[in-house]
Amino acid sequence: MSIHAFFETLALGLQKNTFSVLSLASAIVVHKWAEGLTLGLLYKKEGFRTRTIRLMILIQGLINVLGLLTGSFLMGQGHFVMAFFMSMSAGTFLYISLAEVLQEQIKNMNIKKMIMILVANGFIAFIVWLEKAEEAASEHTL
């Protein structure tokens, strides 16, 4: 989870314009609460002490900040470096969503889950469409 958190915030730090930052940040916020809740419940279920749980969640939060700062630092390091780290970020997104989350959800598939998967994909497609429309509009104003 920490690797995923690092790369998702690294991707956020690598964004070039405000709209891209907002669209990726909204995608991160949409699932971050569930991720935090799941981690907290898992730690509690495994019998960790409250102090240890707080420390682990703090470390998870610091990894998010570290990813954002790293992405911001790498922003001006050239196209190859940015492409490499954006590819790493995309790979972690795909791995987590396809190999971990979706695979588990398909085992107990029902119509509600199918609708939510379609809505989530539609939301992401809409954000990508808005981003492309914003890029096209900014090209016409130059």
Secondary structure tally for the chain: helices H, strands E? 6, 0
Q: What is the residue range of 84's domain?
A: 2-141
In the predicted model, what is the mean pLDDT of residues 80-106?
76
5 CB neighbour count, 10 Å cutoff: 21
Q: Work out how many domains the chain is built from and give that number.
A: 1
pLDDT category of residue 142 using cuts at 50, 70 and 90: low
Cβ neighbour number for residue 132 with a 10 Å cutoff = 10
d(CA 66, CA 64): 5
- Whole-number CA gyration radius for the chain: 17
Q: Work out the pLDDT band at 62, boundaries 50, 70, 90.
A: very high
User: Has residue 66 got a pLDDT over 90?
Assistant: yes
The band of 25, judged by pLDDT with boundaries at 50, 70 and 90, is: confident
Q: How far apart are CA 134 and CA 77, in angstroms?
A: 25
Specify the pLDDT at position 135: 75
Instruction: Output the pTM of the full model.
Output: 0.64
